[in-house]
Amino acid sequence: MEKNNLPWIVAIGAILLVAFVIYQQQQPAGDGVLRDTITVNGVAELKVEPDKAEIWILVEGKGSDAASAQEDLQEKSNKVLTSVKAQGVLEKDIETTGFSVYPDYQYNPETGESTIVGYRAQHSLKVTVHELEKAGVVADAIGTQNGQVQNIQFGLTDEAQKRYDDEALQLAAADARKKAESLTSAVGARLGKVVAIQESNVYYPPWPMYARADMMIAEGGFTKATEVLPGPVSVSSTVSVTYALG
- Domains in the chain: boundaries: 27-48+159-245, 52-155
Tell me: domain 27-48+159-245, CATH 3.30.110.170, correct?
yes
Q: b or e along 20-35 (b: 16 or more beta carbons within 10 Å of the residue's beta carbon)?
A: eeeeeeeeeeeeeebe
In this prediction, residue 76 carries a pLDDT of: 96
Q: How much is the pLDDT for 218?
A: 39
Fold classification of 52-155 is Alpha-Beta Plaits (3.30.70)
CA distance 243 to 60: 59
Mean pLDDT per block of 10 residues along the chain (246 residues) reads 54 45 47 72 93 94 96 96 95 96 92 92 96 91 92 91 93 95 91 91 60 40 63 90 91
At residue 212, φ and ψ (nearest 5 deg) are: -80, 125
In this predicted structure, what is the pLDDT of residue 82?
Answer: 96
Global pTM exceeds 0.75: no
